Structure formats: structure tokens, C-alpha cells
Structure 1
Amino acid sequence: MDITADTPLDELATTHAELRRAWQARKPDHAQRRADLLRLREAFRARVDSMDAAIRADFGHRSQHENLLSEAMIVLAELDHALKHLRRWMRPRRAAVGWRFWPASARIVPEPVGVVGILSPWNYPVNLALVPLMSAIAAGNHVYLKPSEHTPRTSRWLRDLLSEVFPADRVAVALGGPEIGAAFASLPFDHLLFTGSTAVGRKVMAAAAPNLTPVTLELGGKAPAVVCPDYPLDRAAARIATGKWFNAGQTCIGVDYVLVDEARRDAFVEAMQRELRARYGDLEGSRDYTRIINDGQYARLRGYVDDARAHGARVIEPVTPQSDDATRARLASERLFPPTLVLEPPADSEVMRNEIFGPILPVLSYRTLDDAVARIRSLDRPLALYPFSDDERSVEKIVSATLAGGVTVNDTLLHFGAHDLPFGGIGPSGIGAIHGRTGFDTFSKLLPVFRQRRLAGSDLLKPPYRGFVDRMVRLLAR
């Protein structure tokens, strides 16, 4: 199987035009949307094993259970949610017009926008492709998907899956590298969604601007966890470990650094080391620890650790295999990057200036909760925020004094899977939101329709503004 073949550049515009032509000829109704989603669900379920194999091959190794949780479970749950609520989402929504416009009425009608472009990433290559795709299909659009070149086997798997489920003029898939991605983002879509880094998100937004294409950007940032003095350290360490080392930290809403009250910082570090040893043993034999996606990302992360040491930070690798140089070199060639704790890195170190997107966790201490909040506010608004406290006042103080894309209290990651919670960032961590009804609305034009009655007071609002008309205007303006 040739996993490297790119879509020819000159095919992109042709395919986009065919998707638009077919959509204009027959906009999908409820029956078609539901049938499409049902076929997608059936085909996806039948291919979970081959999906798992493709992802693990692209990563070199990724935990099968993490694939089932983050890819299969999320996709199937989102499909079920859309199928259950699709008819209700499609219904016109009543809207009040106020007494000044009586006896008129109004409603909001969700209408499909046309052809939706989706640029999906490598870290969760199926979930982050299919979840927005199904939202766009539910909203009645046609879709052009460009998955990541860094997971070529999975991208080919997506293309094969979708080509079986959908006609080529309803859903198409483009394969290729940055050149294809840049040309894809420049197509005149009716909506464009990109998931990835903030740096690339800026380029996507610039490429979409000449066409005035509406964009949804799902980006990232430095998601903090704040452990308050009242919260049990063992429980905090366990839940933060899940949010940090799931997929070896290659998660946009993964914990990027943790703030712990000064008196308990060392105890937290000990608790975290115990947690990591219990999960991964000596690491080398663990089937549950995912590899870094490619050599470039591995080198970037290694550079972050070297830079932290150069800045005087203490670096701890609790589960690094105790083996000879040859074994360590082999593990590096497999891109096995051990869970790494970095204690008190300075603000100008690489791990604090950049989103880490890997298995390195800075641990920072704070004297007061105000100090912790100030530290969070000194950085860009993150995609996620994780306060840990059983004191509602402390949680409210953290949440109200900061602003993030989403919040999970006393746990990590889980708000992503709640269908009725919109998922999206703010500013450098993203623009717009998806999931559930929010995703349906994102890929719809919520069309306002104002309906006037046969007899209406507005018939009187015309010059000359004298007598009764004058009094009526003055009443309306009160």
C-alpha cells in the first residue's frame, strides 16, 4: 500500500467545485443526514480493529486501550448523540420579537452553509477528523477533509472508510503534506475548521481571509492544573497523571503544568512518582505507554529537558529504564520518551514559554492562591483549566479570575467528552466551538426569519409624523 501518495494540487479546486455543485443540486434533508450518520456508524464499528492497527503503526506504538477510549468511544458516542437529537436540532426555534413589533412573529431556522473544510491533526487522528465531520454532515453540509500527513496510514484509513460510506461528491478526502494543506486552506469553503498548533492556526486563518471564509480554530496552549491546599495529594497526582500522560502527553487539553501549594510541593512530587511507577513499571515493558509521533517532535521535547537543566531546574525521570547505553539508544530510536518532572523551571525556559505537547510536566509551587492565579494570568488564555479543591470558594476564585476554553474541576480531560458542553478555546487557544448541538450550530447558518402579519402597527410608521403617529413613535422610544 502506498501511504505517501499526495492528492494532486490541481485536483483540490476541482473536487471542491464538485462538492459544491452536488450540494446546490440537492441539499441533504433529515432522511439523508440520518442515513449518512447511520452508515458511518456501522462502517466505523466494523473497522475499529483496523483503525487501531493503523494508529499504532503511525505512532510506532500507541496503547490500544487509549485508542479505544479516545478514538472509538468518543466517535461512537458523538454519533449516537447526534442521531438521537438530530430532528430536534433541525427544527426552527421560536424567537421573541417584543411588544414593539406585535403582532409579528419570528423564528431561527438552522440552514446548512454548503461545503465545509476540515484540517485535522495527528495526535487523535480519527476522533478529531470524524467528530467535526459528523457535525457538518448532521447540519446538512458536504465535507472536504484533509487529515494529517504525520499519520499517513490512519489518513489512508479515513479515506477508505469515508469513500465507502459517502458518495465522492458528498464527502472527499485530500492527502498530502504542508503544500497540500496550504492550498486546501485557501479554497473558498463556506466554513473551515482547523485543529492544531497556534502557529499553524495563524497561517490557516490568513489563508482563509481572502475568501472571507468563516473559521473555527481548535488550538492549544499551556493548560494548568491548580492543586489547592485542601485537596488530597494522592488523588490529585492520580488524576493529573491521567490528564498528562494519556497519549504520552500529546493532547491539546492535557495538563501542561501544575501549581501546588508551597508546603506540599515535595510531597506532591513523591506522590506523582509513586503513581507513575505503579502505572508504567520500568517503562520498557509497558504496553500502555504511547510513543512520540516522529523524530522531530522527540528532538523538540529532548531540547526542552536539556534547556530546563541549563536553566537550573531539577529534572526527575521516575520510570526511566535502568539499562546500558545501547538499550537507551534503542529506546530513543523507538521515540520512547519517559515521563519527566521538571521542578520550578523559570518563566523564560522553553517548557514554560511553549506548549509542551509531550510527557514533560513542570511542577511549580505557590505561596497563596492569588499567586497561582497571577501565574496563570501571566500566560495566554489556555484551552483547558483544571482546579483541584473541595472548597467551592477556591474553585470559584480560580475560575472567575481566569479564562480558559473549558474547565474540569477535580479531574482532567473529561469536559471534552460531555456532548452538551461546547468545546473550543479563546484567543491563542482557539476561535469558535464544536461538539453536540454546538457543532451542529457551528456548521449551520442560524437564519433569523421575521414574519409580519396582514395588519401591523408598522403600517402607520410613515411621514408625516404628526398626531397619533407622533405619540406612537415617542411611546416606542421610551
Structure 2
Amino acid sequence: MAAAVTTPAGIHSLLETQQQAFNRAGAVSAETRKTRIQQVIDLLVDNCDALADAMGADFGEGQNGGRPRAFSIMNDILGSLGSLKHARDNLDTWLETDSRTPFAPYDQMGGEAEVMHQPKGSVGIIGTWNAPLFTLFSPLACALAAGNRAILKPSEVVPQTAALVAELISTHLDPEVIAVATGDAEIGAAFAGSPFNHLVFTGSTAVGRKIMRAAAENLVPVTLELGGKSPVILGRSADVDDACRRLAIAKGTNGGQICISPDVLYVPAEKLEASIAALKTHFCALYPTVDDNPDLVAAVNDSHLQRVEAYLADAEDRGVRIESSHPDAASSTRKRPLRLAINPPADSQIMQEEIFGSALVIKTYNELDEVFDDIHSRGRPLALYYFGQDKDEEQQVLTQTLSGGVTVNDLLMHAAMHEAPFGGVGASGMGHYHGYEGFLEFSHARTLFRAPAYDPRAEWGMLPPHHDQFETMMRAQVTKD
């Protein structure tokens, strides 16, 4: 088996090899697709512990690294397996003939129509560091189900995980079907600028713009899974304590380093202090200590830690009230307590940038319209959350906001559904993966019309030379019915 490619020339050569193999092979049967998916499932299952260890090591030092093995298994390995198994088990249904009704009067004359869903060719998948396996293998599940080949580009921010993924795939899988490219930003730029048949990127909005510009040079269709400042709206009918318990769970997940992690919590002004107290209490119950807590995920590296700390320092310099779940916690590692920034100004860094760490903005409101105005002042978020029992208010939130996905009375849950599309809108991305919509994303929808044996157009006076009533016939059909 070939080793992972590490140069721009290697990427171009590998892509050409895959695309030539795709063209030679022709139709990709359901059994071939299932076999390829199963090979990836087997690889993840057989190497579960080694992959979890690599992710832990990339997030920090120590026996368990900076990320618990159990969390890495749950989030990345089980999450990936869920996507792969769902695609494998539902593929036959997805591949059923998609019949369509031909236009009149050919529908009455024996004409037939359908939409074929054909593979596009070779898909490039650029993963991210915060979910280094899931952001590679979940879209891969849909790409393989659609009959494509793929080249994966793991994030260089998690080098041990990237190296192990490259080694395992290069050793166990056919590079003409699934291969890996590794390297820094230069390799990433070459990858994004290669003439794939489809390109997937998970990461920041800023980098997403660069990816889309690079892909446009080759007219490569893109799926962008980005981020944004995902809001949480606490309605007046919400159970504050339960909402804050669930919010503490979400902010603790992966140390807040997740694309759908909540960034801004909107609370009624009269419930501010109760919300702060409940958040701190529940976060402390989940994580009684910080530095020595094996359940708490560390910032992935010093650069990302200092980025979040700089947001908080900027807010504090502006006179913003900062509350900490563990005000006396030591900071000898990259693990941090939950910090709350109360009503920061709109031009503060923490309100301008996605946090992606163990911090949360809390903003008070009196009327819900204030919340909508503030949400609309920024790009569309990848996720939105609402807590409350008022169905009219819930409907108001759903109809007056726009986001990638929504969870009501909890957080993060909508992204776990394999049977529903996951993706952003506007600044938070475009396109979907997961489930049938992911299968469609990586397929070319090819319309097919089978004409009936008899062609009536001459008999109807539709062909040249046109008689003098032809225009009258056409004009008579221009109606509002």
C-alpha cells in the first residue's frame, strides 16, 4: 500500500490516479459501496484504543493526555461509526429508483422519467482538530455511500492523530479508493486548490472563505461546515436551573471546543443572577476541580488557550464583569474553569469572534425583539438553542431566526441525528452531511427522460415550417390558470 502524500505534487498525482480509477471502474454497485464502508468500520474498531490515545496525546501531556479516552471514543470513534453504519444499513433504500412524472402529454403517451443519483468521482475531505476523526469519517460515510472515492486531509494541529490516521489508511485501504494527505498550511492550500469532484471543509468561517476561493478556481462544489456564535435563548417560561444544568454540560463538552458549542446566552434581566449562580453550581458539580481533573478537556495547544484568554482579558479591560466557576483554580495546565462575561459591548473581541473554549457570554434582555436584533447583527450561526415551555414563543424564535440547526430545551443534540442533515447557512456554511441528505450532497442528480416511440410534434404543428397559426397556438397557452 502507498504511504500518505505530503507534497502538492503528491496530492495532484494521487487525485489523478483516483479519478482515472473511477472512470475505468464505471458503475459502483451497492455491494462495493457497503464493502468500502465496512472496511472503514473495521479499521476504526480494530484501532480504537490507539486512536483514542493519539487524540489524548494531541490535547495534552500526562497519563490520559489532555482529553479523556472515553470522551474521544464517544465523540470521535462512536460518532464516526454511527455515521458509517447508518449509511451502510440504509444504502439500499437510498439507491431505490427515484421515479418522476413526465410532462404532459408525454405522461399519457408512454414517456418515462427518473432521477439517477450517480457518484461524482473523488471527494476531498479536510478535517479539523477539535473532532479529528468525526470530521473526516462522518462525511466520508456519505461520500462512500454515494459511490465516490476520497482523499482525507487531517488537521496538522493534532499531529499524532493525523499521523496515525495516515498510517492506518495507507496500510489497510486501497489508495485508489481512500487515501490521506498530511502536512501544514501549504499542503492544506494545495489540497483545497486541487480539482476534486467535491470538497468538504470543517473549520472556521475565515478559513472557509479561503477554501471556497481556492475551490472556485477549478469550479469544485464545496460543502462548508463552519461555526459562528451560536446563541441560547432562555425564555421566561424556562426552568432556569435545568437549563443551566444542560448548558453547563454543553460548555464542558470537549472544553467548549466544538463548532455548535453555545457562545452567547440571552437571559431575561430579572433572571441574570439566578442564571449565573446555577451555571457555576452545575459546572462545579460536573468538574469539582480543574487542573487535575481527568474529565475536563484541555485547550488543544497554547495558541488556542491564549486566544480565549485574550478575549476575556479584553473584556475585563473594558470593565466587563467576569465570573468564574472556580475563582481560585490553579492554571498550571491548559485546562480552564468556565468563565462568564456579563453584557460585554458589541465591539469587544469576545462578541466579535467565535469563542471555541471554556467561556460564555451572558446578555440580558427585556423583550425578545432585542435578542433577535442582536442575533441578526452577526452572521448566521451553525446552531441555535431555545429553552422554554411557551409554544408561541418557541414558534416565534424558530420563525424569526435562521441557523444551521436547532435544539429546543437542550443543547448539541440535533447534530447527533444520523437521519437528519447537519450543516450551516450563510456565514456558518453550506451543504449538508449525515444520512440521506449527505448521500444526495455527494451525488450528481442526473435527470433521465425516456421518450415514447411515437413523436406527435409534426402532427401537432409544432415543427417547421410553421403554419400561420403557430404563434396564435402558442399565445393561447399563456394563461394565469
User: How far 1:43 moved relative to its partner?
Assistant: 2.1
- 1:291 paired residue number: 298
Q: SS where residue 256 of structure 1 aligns?
A: strand
8 Å contact from structure 2 (residues 5, 180) kept in 1: no
User: How far 1:467 moved relative to its partner?
Assistant: 8.3
User: How far 1:267 moved relative to its partner?
Assistant: 0.4
1:425 is matched by which residue type in structure 2?
Answer: G
**Please, which of 72, 76, 82 is the counterpart of residue 71 of structure 1?**
76
Decide whether aligned partners of structure 1 residues 453 and 143 sit closer, same or farther in structure 2, where only a CA change above 3 A counts: same
The CA distance in 2 between the partners of 1:466 and 1:139, in whole Å, is 49
2:297 is matched by which residue type in structure 1?
Answer: T
The CA distance in 1 between the partners of 2:244 and 2:329, in whole Å, is 24
**Please, which of 257, 282, 293 is the counterpart of residue 264 of structure 2?**
257
- 2:354 paired residue number: 355
1:53 and 2:74 are equivalent in the alignment: no
Q: SS where residue 70 of structure 1 aligns?
A: helix
User: How far 1:200 moved relative to its partner?
Assistant: 0.6
Decide whether aligned partners of structure 1 residues 458 and 45 sit closer, same or farther in structure 2, where only a CA change above 3 A counts: farther
The CA distance in 2 between the partners of 1:354 and 1:292, in whole Å, is 17
Q: SS where residue 144 of structure 1 aligns?
A: strand
- 2:216 paired residue number: 209
Q: SS where residue 399 of structure 2 aligns?
A: helix
| Cα shift readout 1:12-48 (whole Å, capped 9, x = no counterpart) | 1111111111111114321111111112212211211
- 2:392 paired residue number: 393
8 Å contact from structure 1 (residues 219, 425) kept in 2: yes
8 Å contact from structure 1 (residues 283, 338) kept in 2: yes
- 1:8 paired residue number: 7
Decide whether aligned partners of structure 1 residues 472 and 84 sit closer, same or farther in structure 2, where only a CA change above 3 A counts: farther
8 Å contact from structure 2 (residues 241, 275) kept in 1: yes
The CA distance in 2 between the partners of 1:475 and 1:110, in whole Å, is 38
- 1:35 paired residue number: 35
1:445 and 2:444 are equivalent in the alignment: yes
The CA distance in 2 between the partners of 1:426 and 1:455, in whole Å, is 47
| Cα shift readout 1:256-295 (whole Å, capped 9, x = no counterpart) | 1100011101101100011011010022232110000111
User: How far 1:66 moved relative to its partner?
Assistant: 2.1
| Cα shift readout 1:108-159 (whole Å, capped 9, x = no counterpart) | 1000001111111101000000011121111111101111000111112222
Report percent identity of matched pairs. Answer: 36
**Residue-pair matches, total:** 466
The CA distance in 2 between the partners of 1:98 and 1:203, in whole Å, is 42
User: How far 1:51 moved relative to its partner?
Assistant: 1.3
**Mean Cα displacement is larger for which, 101-110 or 227-236?**
101-110
8 Å contact from structure 1 (residues 283, 320) kept in 2: no
**Mean Cα displacement is larger for which, 432-441 or 224-233?**
432-441
2:34 is matched by which residue type in structure 1?
Answer: R
Q: SS where residue 266 of structure 1 aligns?
A: helix
Correspondence list, 1:72-471, <5 A:
72-102=77-107, 103=109, 104-322=111-329, 328=331, 331=332, 334-459=333-458, 460=460, 461-466=462-467
2:59 is matched by which residue type in structure 1?
Answer: F
**Mean Cα displacement is larger for which, 292-301 or 42-51?**
42-51
The CA distance in 1 between the partners of 2:222 and 2:115, in whole Å, is 22
What's the RMSD between the two structures over aligned residues?
1.8
8 Å contact from structure 2 (residues 385, 411) kept in 1: yes
The CA distance in 2 between the partners of 1:145 and 1:239, in whole Å, is 34
8 Å contact from structure 2 (residues 5, 11) kept in 1: no
Decide whether aligned partners of structure 1 residues 307 and 475 sit closer, same or farther in structure 2, where only a CA change above 3 A counts: same
**Mean Cα displacement is larger for which, 352-361 or 90-99?**
90-99
2:79 is matched by which residue type in structure 1?
Answer: I
1:154 is matched by which residue type in structure 2?
Answer: T
Q: TM-score, normalised by structure 2?
A: 0.93
User: How far 1:105 moved relative to its partner?
Assistant: 2.1
**Mean Cα displacement is larger for which, 8-17 or 129-138?**
8-17
8 Å contact from structure 2 (residues 290, 329) kept in 1: no
8 Å contact from structure 2 (residues 291, 336) kept in 1: no
Q: TM-score, normalised by structure 1?
A: 0.94
**Mean Cα displacement is larger for which, 312-321 or 451-460?**
451-460
| Cα shift readout 1:206-259 (whole Å, capped 9, x = no counterpart) | 111111111111111000000000000111001112222210111111101100
Q: SS where residue 217 of structure 1 aligns?
A: strand
| Cα shift readout 1:307-338 (whole Å, capped 9, x = no counterpart) | 01011111111124445xxxx3xx2xx31222
**Mean Cα displacement is larger for which, 95-104 or 114-123?**
95-104
| Cα shift readout 1:426-447 (whole Å, capped 9, x = no counterpart) | 1111011111111111111011
8 Å contact from structure 1 (residues 282, 320) kept in 2: no
8 Å contact from structure 2 (residues 329, 337) kept in 1: no
8 Å contact from structure 1 (residues 276, 319) kept in 2: no
| Cα shift readout 1:91-117 (whole Å, capped 9, x = no counterpart) | 330112233443322111000001111
1:244 is matched by which residue type in structure 2?
Answer: K
The CA distance in 2 between the partners of 1:64 and 1:348, in whole Å, is 39
1:343 is matched by which residue type in structure 2?
Answer: I
The CA distance in 1 between the partners of 2:93 and 2:169, in whole Å, is 26
8 Å contact from structure 1 (residues 91, 110) kept in 2: no
**Mean Cα displacement is larger for which, 295-304 or 239-248?**
239-248
8 Å contact from structure 2 (residues 233, 385) kept in 1: yes
The CA distance in 2 between the partners of 1:38 and 1:265, in whole Å, is 50
8 Å contact from structure 2 (residues 291, 329) kept in 1: no
8 Å contact from structure 1 (residues 317, 340) kept in 2: yes
The CA distance in 2 between the partners of 1:421 and 1:360, in whole Å, is 29
Q: SS where residue 361 of structure 1 aligns?
A: strand
**Mean Cα displacement is larger for which, 241-250 or 268-277?**
241-250
User: How far 1:471 moved relative to its partner?
Assistant: 7.3
- 2:63 paired residue number: none
| Cα shift readout 1:161-192 (whole Å, capped 9, x = no counterpart) | 32344211111100100000001111111111
| Cα shift readout 1:38-84 (whole Å, capped 9, x = no counterpart) | 12212211211111101000001112332122112211111121111
8 Å contact from structure 1 (residues 283, 321) kept in 2: no
8 Å contact from structure 1 (residues 257, 362) kept in 2: yes
